[in-house]
Structure 1
Amino acid sequence: MTTASNPDRAAHRQSLRERNGGQILVQQLRIHGVKRVFLVPGESYLPCIDALYDHQDAIQPVVCRQESGAGYMAEAYGKLTGEPGICFVTRGPGATNASIAVHTAYQDSTPMILFVGQVGNDFIEREAFQEIDYRRMFGEMAKWVAQIDRTDRIPEFVARAFAVATSGRPGPVVLALPEDTLWGKATVPDLPRYQRAHAAPTPAAMASLETLLAQAQRPFLLVGGSGWTPQSMRQIEGFAERFALPVGAAWRRLECFDNHHPNFASHVGWGMGDALRARIRDADLLIAVGTRMGEATTEGYTLVESPLPRQRLVHVYPDANELGRVFQSALPIAADVVSFAQAVDTLRPAAEPAWGGQTRAARGDYLAQQEPAPAPGPLNVNAVACHVRDHVPPDACITVGAGNYALFAHAYHRFQGVGTSLTPTVGSMGYGLPAAISAKLEYPDRTVVCYAGDGCFQMNLQELGVAMQYRLGIVVLVFNNGMWGTIRAHQEREFPGRTIALTFDNPDFSELVRAYRGHGEVVGSDAEFGPAFARALEFANTQRLPALLELRYDPDGVGPGITLSQIRAAALARQAQAAS
């Protein structure tokens, strides 16, 4: 710092007023661009709640019903915007409830900051009321966990939290807020808004990529991860077009590439088609951009083998620590998707790619799977997913939680960019409804449809109260088959005919939503769904309240083109063959 700037800084300090910790923290959130916080109020961070009163023109507090719902909403906000989703919860039970969202943000590489109330420093290490050591509790599921023990250091910690949450591989940060820090007062300057650091590919790396493309005969482009923008998506689409590359989206990252694009070949991971699986397995060059290629995408690290893939692998990822961690690649490139997309935007093939026919064949395979598969019973939920696809606007946001019912949306819906899909790659249940609420808050003019299993929905159905309170016209499709369908499928596969502990009685979901001033209907046949869905959309759009359709269907139809009867029969046949 120059000597000339020292007097300026001193004068700035003299002009500051004394503030308590809550006032300092919330002012920092405003400076960093926060426009919405999700919270379940708690006395442990009361000064922060009070400080929000003075920032109502810029920051909207969203009062949630349970901390897991609040955390999921914040995580969904991070997915939608690329900025950290902000969640406040109280100490102890509040933090443990919110931990599922932190784990989701970690495995989904979503920027998020969780602020947790904490006992005062004078009570630390006495097992005071609701006391937990958050460094130990969250250490394995967050990028950084810290406790702010001094009021005057709040701006420093908050600025670092934003930088850590968004840099390299994005993820969650947890900051504990002791009561004496929040109630304490300090005269401290605010820090400026954080600046995101971008990792960019080197010229040498791009030259090597061009060489590998020139040598390839069966290349495949796999996209996924977080940090995508509309511009980076268009640039990657242009790259795929110029090089005639077939493109797959990593597990539950279908929004990362326009599914309507002629180069799109479907999602990659559990439930993919045999033709696509063979295409990736036999590829001589696999360019993976933004995705870690986890267990689900690689089908247990068999499609892309660890540690040494059979394909020549170009792995593009923003965090160098992830490169070489699971897969030894032919060309590791430490770059985020924005910087990599800018770099490939300048690449041009030296000659017409020879594999264009393979790409067209891959697209043909994908389109052939877009007709609804048959299913038992009067209501075909394959056809339901196709109807939704064909009757919502292109920018509609589809949210799902976890369960076999999610396969219907991922098999048939055609997503086309950031904000059109919200789903947890970690496979955490109860996510769909809070995510839909977050999406509707962020995009009030968009259609938002939540796919929810009957079990998944009941994990966070209380957040219907948020949709009611904030007048959010979302549509919820509850897939009611009266059982934990995914586990039932696994049980039939491993222990056929020995069903136990997987079924349950459900409430009338259509009546339940009416208690939240919403619209509800029960649908039991194909003929009923179309008109009911139209009524649900109309109600949600005009009344700005939730609409719910309870889909009662044959539980034998457990997935797209899959029945429990088939799974059981195949398992029994294997057992008989092994016994013979």
Structure 2
Amino acid sequence: MTQTDIRPRPRADGDEGPHTPAAGTVSRRLRTGGEVLVDQLLIHGVSNAYCVPGESYLAVLDALYGTRIALTVCRQEGGAAMMAEASGKLTGRAGVCFVTRGPGASNAMHGLHIAQQDSTPMVLFVGHVARSAAGRDTFQELDYRAVFGTVAKWVEVIDDARRVPELVARAFRIAESGRPGPVVLALPEDMLTDIVEVADATAVAPVETYPSADQVEAFAAMLAAAERPVAVLGGSRWSAEAVAGFTAFAEAASLPVYVSFRRQMLFPGSSPCYGGDMSLGANPAIAREIEAADLVILLGTRLSEVPSNHFTLLGIPVPRQKLVHVHPEPQEIGQIYTPTLGIAASPAAFVRALATVDPHAPDAGRRSRTEAIHASYLAWSDPSGVTIPGELQMGEVMASLAGRLGPDTIFCNGAGNYAIWLHRFRRFERFGTQLAPTSGSMGYGVPAAVAAKTMRPDRTVVAFAGDGCFLMNGQEFATAVQYGLAFVVILVDNTMYGTIRMHQERDYPGRVSGTGLKNPDFAAYARAFGGHGETVRTTAEFMPALERALASNLPAILHCHIAPEALSPTMRMAEPA
């Protein structure tokens, strides 16, 4: 079937209204491949999808018409894929994205890489050339298995519409089980218009992994014998209940807890056991405590390059400390660090098993150490007294935000030195309030805010962005305006790619090359799209501007100008550390 043959039409069974299958039903109605696909999404509980439309999957767009799946139309495939990834982070279920072949698929790689490194469940559907034209370097053709094979957990081309239920069910199971990640399904355009009779799949759930009774007993014995234990939390497969359960266990055991890079929402900052996050520019006391520990518990995290301080904290392959590594994917255990005890279990399942473990009343020495660790965190995360050059003091801004924005506020950010202000000084309290890429990908904050406000419309959403970071996907601000998604972007403008400039000043002082930026009026940019925009140049201007932005009930940008000399909260242009 040629491109011009694809056109909207009634459903193959003659019903022009929306079809909403119940989970587990068996349907043998005549349907197009596109209709079969959409019916599987409904069965698997998909309520939101993100896309940039393309002629290669028009039959799917037609099948989505009138269903209860809310389709967010985006401005660039990178932004759409990031929205799907952010949705997966918030819900723990696979975020869904549709893009067209060739250029569309290439743009979506951005979001796929985030999902892979962040262990986020996601299913990317890519339009594909007709089966009869495959392998001829056809218009916009790509070899999806080759292109995405090193990033996605699984890549498949659905050549037969009768296999859509089988392969879509497999895609969701793979994306959500073990170590979650992205899956790519390519959809030949003529397959989507084939009319077939096929049974629907049933809804899938992530495959759960549990610790054995012997493993739980061994863990309890190791914890009881330790004098200087620490826990490090990270990864995915968490829930609000798991966070609450581990918090209660840690407090009963007076167990110091750190969180991995950009995983602050996994443990409340107010807990007396919290020691901070192992991020770029982390509190130096964290490394000292982990190196001095006699037991390290890695729960859900891989402890990759950033939180491990370039793989130096534990020793490879045999850690200097006793190590308990709990991870939902067995292949991750021992891949870098050889554990004393390895447990293949999701964080949620492991925390449930802790209900059988006696945390033992901690001795005075452990309580004193845990209190000192938390006191160090409180001092490190206190923005008062942190000053930078210029009239806009970000330390005071962060202190003001703490008093104004409640614990349910969802914060989003991409990558850049501006993010240090958020990660160091925001004391996260609740699960599901942080969307940030551990992959260090720029351009994430605005698409993530679109997804957050779409999925959690009753919550306040704030995106932090740098001037360089914002313009990588800032066009998705138009998506926010189109759908009436009122969130606030705090855009920190220092007229440069600040992180790269920081390294440049350290390694090649006085030789500025390739890092300067000439920026637009971002407040006017916001107003041009139909949003709210204000310029902030001084500390006194910030809070009134924020209040007006929140009251506007519009997507808003606060264009915050900071001095270029302020490379970070502690580094200055003249004397980078």
TM-score (norm 1): 0.93
Partner of 2:155, secondary structure, is strand
Is the 8 Å Cα contact of residues 138 and 145 (structure 1) preserved in structure 2? Answer: yes
Work out which of the residue numbers 66, 70, 75 in structure 2 matches 1:60. 70
> Aligned equivalents of 2:300 and 2:259: distance in 1?
10
Q: 1:141-181, CA deviations, whole angstroms, 9 ceiling, x for partnerless residues? A: 00000000101000000000010001100000000001121
> Aligned equivalents of 1:102 and 1:159: distance in 2?
19
Q: Which amino acid aligns with 1:168?
A: G
Partner of 1:537, secondary structure, is helix
Q: Which amino acid aligns with 1:24?
A: V
Match of 1:51 in 2: 63
Shift of 1:467: 0.6
**RMSD across aligned C-alpha pairs, in angstroms?**
1.2
Q: Which amino acid aligns with 1:30?
A: L
Match of 1:557 in 2: 566
Match of 1:388 in 2: 401
Match of 1:345 in 2: 355
> Aligned equivalents of 1:418 and 1:85: distance in 2?
18
> Aligned equivalents of 1:475 and 1:41: distance in 2?
27
More displaced 10-residue stretch of structure 1: 34-43 or 258-267: 258-267
Is the 8 Å Cα contact of residues 33 and 193 (structure 2) preserved in structure 1? Answer: yes
Is the 8 Å Cα contact of residues 319 and 334 (structure 1) preserved in structure 2? Answer: yes
Is the 8 Å Cα contact of residues 317 and 323 (structure 1) preserved in structure 2? Answer: yes
Match of 2:238 in 1: 228
> Aligned equivalents of 1:35 and 1:197: distance in 2?
21
Partner of 2:323, secondary structure, is strand
Work out which of the residue numbers 377, 395, 398 in structure 1 matches 2:411. 398
Work out which of the residue numbers 37, 46, 55 in structure 2 matches 1:34. 46
More displaced 10-residue stretch of structure 1: 78-87 or 524-533: 524-533
Match of 1:435 in 2: 448
Q: 1:512-539, CA deviations, whole angstroms, 9 ceiling, x for partnerless residues? A: 0001111111111111112111111111
Is the 8 Å Cα contact of residues 32 and 193 (structure 1) preserved in structure 2? Answer: yes
> Aligned equivalents of 1:416 and 1:70: distance in 2?
28
Is the 8 Å Cα contact of residues 242 and 348 (structure 1) preserved in structure 2? Answer: no
Work out which of the residue numbers 125, 144, 150 in structure 1 matches 2:135. 125
Match of 1:242 in 2: 252
Q: 1:524-555, CA deviations, whole angstroms, 9 ceiling, x for partnerless residues? A: 1111112111111111xxx3x21111110111
Q: Which amino acid aligns with 1:369?
A: W
Q: Which amino acid aligns with 1:255?
A: M
Is the 8 Å Cα contact of residues 249 and 359 (structure 2) preserved in structure 1? Answer: no
Match of 1:296 in 2: 306
Match of 2:474 in 1: 461
Match of 1:6 in 2: none
Partner of 2:309, secondary structure, is coil
Partner of 1:458, secondary structure, is helix
The 5-angstrom pairing of residues 487-502 of structure 1 reads: 487-502=500-515
Match of 1:574 in 2: none
Match of 2:11 in 1: none
> Aligned equivalents of 1:151 and 1:418: distance in 2?
40
Q: Which amino acid aligns with 2:574?
A: S
Is the 8 Å Cα contact of residues 269 and 298 (structure 1) preserved in structure 2? Answer: no
Q: Which amino acid aligns with 2:64?
A: L
Partner of 1:344, secondary structure, is helix
Partner of 2:332, secondary structure, is coil
Is the 8 Å Cα contact of residues 23 and 51 (structure 1) preserved in structure 2? Answer: yes
Match of 2:14 in 1: none
> Aligned equivalents of 2:343 and 2:53: distance in 1?
43
- 2:382 matches 1:367: no
The 5-angstrom pairing of residues 512-523 of structure 1 reads: 512-523=525-536
Is the 8 Å Cα contact of residues 65 and 466 (structure 1) preserved in structure 2? Answer: yes
Is the 8 Å Cα contact of residues 238 and 345 (structure 1) preserved in structure 2? Answer: no
Is the 8 Å Cα contact of residues 435 and 448 (structure 2) preserved in structure 1? Answer: yes
Q: 1:354-376, CA deviations, whole angstroms, 9 ceiling, x for partnerless residues? A: 41111100110111123221111
Q: 1:216-270, CA deviations, whole angstroms, 9 ceiling, x for partnerless residues? A: 1111011011121111111101110111011111001111111222211110132
Partner of 1:252, secondary structure, is coil
Match of 1:145 in 2: 155
Shift of 1:185: 1.3
Is the 8 Å Cα contact of residues 45 and 182 (structure 1) preserved in structure 2? Answer: yes
- 2:218 matches 1:205: no
Shift of 1:120: 1.1
- 2:392 matches 1:379: yes
Shift of 1:102: 0.5
Partner of 1:116, secondary structure, is strand
Match of 1:7 in 2: none
Shift of 1:304: 2.5
Q: Unpaired segments of 5 or more residues in structure 2?
A: 1-24
Shift of 1:346: 2.3
> Aligned equivalents of 1:370 and 1:555: distance in 2?
23
Would you identify which runs of 4 or more consecutive aligned residues in structure 1 move more than 3 Å? none
The 5-angstrom pairing of residues 19-30 of structure 1 reads: 19-30=31-42
Q: 1:371-410, CA deviations, whole angstroms, 9 ceiling, x for partnerless residues? A: 2211111111222222222211210000000001111100
> Aligned equivalents of 1:276 and 1:106: distance in 2?
27
Q: 1:275-324, CA deviations, whole angstroms, 9 ceiling, x for partnerless residues? A: 22211111111101000101001010012222222121111100000101
> Aligned equivalents of 2:526 and 2:443: distance in 1?
16
Match of 2:519 in 1: 506
Partner of 1:415, secondary structure, is coil
Work out which of the residue numbers 150, 155, 175 in structure 2 matches 1:165. 175
> Aligned equivalents of 1:305 and 1:409: distance in 2?
30
More displaced 10-residue stretch of structure 1: 383-392 or 138-147: 383-392
Partner of 1:321, secondary structure, is helix
Match of 2:6 in 1: none
TM-score (norm 2): 0.94
Match of 1:410 in 2: 423
Match of 2:367 in 1: 356
Shift of 1:351: 4.1
Q: Which amino acid aligns with 1:362?
A: I
Is the 8 Å Cα contact of residues 152 and 187 (structure 1) preserved in structure 2? Answer: yes
Q: Unpaired segments of 5 or more residues in structure 1?
A: 1-11, 571-580
